[in-house]
A and B are shown apart, each in its own frame.
Chain A
């Protein structure tokens, strides 16, 4: 007798949701690049350079998974996040301090201020029915922002993506190879690019970016 893996009836699952990003003053949070002391570097920087780097650190990152056919999922997300999930492949939306990146037809990455992550996660769980997933991955990754006239040149050395403006308009998102690691790349402005990188690869990518941007001059920003 072979058994079916799909449950016959939608079971009610109770999930313990923890606030992973404590906003209490006495809890010290460290970004994956804490040891690089980017703030110190920023204060004794050269003023000019072709590439600027800034860590968009300690933000809330939520991975959402669900079917576009599940109305409750799509509506619940739109309602709680204040903006509909982008369904067009490789696109992103931004509203206020919340940005949503398309990752795959059934996966999105929501980035928002850390102190909103817990509320939003709870809101999503209350609003959505059926088969879906919300995971707070804030501790597992960080965002590096590259900007400046040579930011695109640094990307060209680092990834196999076609980052020509005709192929990579502002707002586009693409996951790809980045150096010998991976990154979710988003063009957030004319000369501004955001890399979502894994925590454990953050130091490697920081070292890689310093090397790759040396010839253009690297400016660290707060």
Chain B
């Protein structure tokens, strides 16, 4: 079980209260009507699957019902940081 700090409730809660929502920082194409199929396909379907640091969106579904970002090590499951939507990660993979 992960123990996750919600940046809105400002305390650690059990993983059961949250839902994982996949990769964070996926920018929607600014001009969808003029995207190539490859650009739209990448936006809709293609996701990173790193071994190591990964930036993810989590949802505090039974608590404050807010979305936020988590930097998590997919190998050790260690949560490195939690930050709000619109903010940038401080912990990033090297290279």
Complex: A89 Cα to B13 Cα, angstroms: 14
Residues of A contacting B38 in the complex (Cβ-Cβ under 8 angstroms) = none
Report if B94 contacts A (CB, 8 A).
no
Contact B64 A175 (CB under 8 A): yes
Tell me the count of chain A residues lying within 8 A, CB to CB, of chain B: 15
- Are the C-beta atoms of A177 and B30 separated by less than 8 Å? no
B residues within 8 Å of A by Cβ?
Answer: 8-11, 13-14, 16-17, 30-33, 62-66
In the complex, the answer to whether B62 meets A104 with C-beta atoms within 8 Å is no
* Cβ B10 vs Cβ A90 within 8 A: yes
Contact assessment for B16 and A105 in the assembled complex, using a CB-CB cutoff below 8 Å: no
Q: Give the distance in Å from the alpha carbon of A176 to the alpha carbon of B14 in the complex.
A: 9
Q: Are A174 and B9 in contact (CB under 8 A)?
A: yes
**Taking the nearest CB of chain B, how far is it from the CB of A107, in angstroms?**
8
Shortest C-beta distance, B95 to chain A (Å), equals 34
> Which 4 residue pairs across A and B have the least CB separation, nearest first?
A104-B64, A160-B14, A182-B62, A175-B63
Chain B residues whose C-beta falls within 8 Å of the C-beta of A182 in the assembled complex: 62
Contact residues in B for A174 (Cβ distance below 8 Å): 9, 63
Q: Contacts of B30 on A, CB cut-off 8 Å?
A: 2
Q: Is the CB of A2 within 8 A of B16?
A: no
Q: Is B31 in contact with A176, judged by CB distance below 8 angstroms? A: no
Q: Which residue of B lies closest to A167 (CB)?
A: B11
A103 at the A/B interface (Cβ < 8 Å)? yes
Residue pair A177, B16 in contact (C-beta under 8 Å):
yes
A-B CB contact pairs (8 Å), 28 listed: A1-B33, A2-B31, A89-B9, A89-B11, A89-B64, A90-B9, A90-B10, A90-B11, A103-B64, A103-B65, A104-B8, A104-B63, A104-B64, A104-B65, A104-B66, A105-B8, A105-B64, A105-B66, A107-B64, A161-B13, A174-B9, A175-B62, A175-B63, A176-B62, A177-B14, A177-B17, A177-B62, A182-B62
